[in-house]
Amino acid sequence: MKIKQCIERVPGGMMLVPLILGAMVHTYFPGFADYFGSFTKGIMTGVVPILSVWFFCMGASITLKGTGTVFRKSGTLVVVKTLTAFVVAKIAMHVLPGAGITTGFFAGISALTLVAAMDMTNGGLYAGIMQRYGTKEEAGAFVLMSIESGPLMTMIILGTAGIASFQPHIFVGAVLPFIIGYAVGNIDPEFRSLFSPMAKSLIPFFGFALGNTISLNVVAQTGLLGILMGIAVVIITGIPLMLADRYFGGGDGTAGLAASSSAGAAAATPMLIAQMSPGFMPIAAQATALVATSIIVTSVLTPLATAAWAKYKGRI
């Protein structure tokens, strides 16, 4: 049976399919984890420890080796996408309630939700798009996008924008596994070879654990809004990314548009941030559902938009 191939046909499938399965268990068998306890409960509720190991492995996979073109391109895209999310956070701070909207059609919309959907790029999706429509150097620009992975960048944006406050040691704790992994992987390349492949293997596990915090009823309620948010992510982040790629990255905007997606790991951010800043907990489940929908939408829309732009620019 080609189960893995079927899952991978779904945009962000290795994250989203286990997440949906976990949500089904949580919705229809809410006492499952507690009933079996032990390791079964651990794998169903262990979002934070599983994500911590994944973050370590991501750090171990990064190397400083590369051409100047690759780092100029990737650095430009990472900085601009982060700044765009910061501007959105500042605007949201003035127009939305502090903890976000909790009722009505816009339930789940908050600065946290918007930043989580916008501040991380799906590096694998970007690399795949640019291998088709870009140069080798442009495809390699995903190397720095791992810096955006995990809750750290979201914490920095929310903290800098004055929306949430985090103690300094909380910031350190959020990034420490990544830093240690980065150090280990660069000190000894054999460790990089050992840990790098594990990053992909862990994605279904934290997707399933994350799903066990979500009710499918919430997903149904936020579906249309999530679709609209996914479209907004491509437009709001895509335009500045295209301009930055053209005027600072030395490209024609194609690479910028290819980076306008929401990363699969972003679905874990709202719940993780809510654990560190409890004020966001009332909307954490709704925010997770919105970001998950945005991941699917941008995983489809970003390649289509990039292909259209590449054709317009004569790349295909």
Domain boundaries, the chain: 16-312
Place 148 in a pLDDT band, splitting at 50, 70 and 90.
low
Please report which residue ranges of 37-151 form alpha helices under DSSP H.
38-45, 47-60, 68-95, 111-118, 123-133, 136-139
Task: Quote the pLDDT of residue 146.
Answer: 64
Task: Quote the pLDDT of residue 194.
Answer: 93
CB 292 within 8 A of CB 243: no
Place 84 in a pLDDT band, splitting at 50, 70 and 90.
very high
The string of pLDDT tens digits covering residues 62-76 is: 776 655 566 777 788
Q: Which of 1-15, 81-95, 283-297 is modeled with the greatest confidence?
A: 81-95
Quick check: 57 pLDDT over 90? no
Task: Quote the pLDDT of residue 268.
Answer: 81
Task: Quote the pLDDT of residue 142.
Answer: 67
Task: Quote the pLDDT of residue 86.
Answer: 94
CA–CA dist 195, 54 (Å, integer): 9
Phi, psi dihedral angles at 108 (to 5 degrees)? 105, -20
- Could you tell me the end-to-end alpha-carbon distance of the chain, in angstroms, rounded to an integer? 35
CB 105 within 8 A of CB 176: no
Compute CA 265 distance to the chain's CA centroid, rounded to the nearest angstrom.
4
Which segment of 29-38, 94-103, 233-242, 256-265 scores lowest on mean pLDDT? 94-103
Q: Tally the residues of the chain.
A: 316
Task: Quote the pLDDT of residue 232.
Answer: 96
The DSSP call for residue 165 is: -
Higher-confidence residue: 58 or 219?
58
Task: Quote the pLDDT of residue 91.
Answer: 94
Average pLDDT over residues 122-145: 73
Angle in degrees, CA 188, 194, 199, rounded to 5: 120
CA–CA dist 185, 171 (Å, integer): 22
Its sign, for the CA torsion 199, 204, 210, 212, is negative
Task: Quote the pLDDT of residue 61.
Answer: 78
Task: Quote the pLDDT of residue 143.
Answer: 63
Query: Backbone dihedral region of 37: left (phi > 0), alpha (psi from -120 to 50 degrees) or beta?
Result: left
CA–CA dist 212, 31 (Å, integer): 11
Average pLDDT over residues 167-178: 76
CATH top class, domain 16-312 = mainly alpha
Quick check: 210 pLDDT over 80? no
Quick check: 109 pLDDT over 70? yes
Task: Quote the pLDDT of residue 140.
Answer: 65
Average pLDDT over residues 259-280: 85
Average pLDDT over residues 252-265: 88
CB 148 within 8 A of CB 263: yes
Task: Quote the pLDDT of residue 293.
Answer: 87
CA–CA dist 23, 17 (Å, integer): 10
CB proximity list for 209: less than 8 A, separation 6 or greater:
22, 43, 44, 45, 46, 47, 50
Query: Backbone dihedral region of 124: left (phi > 0), alpha (psi from -120 to 50 degrees) or beta?
Result: alpha
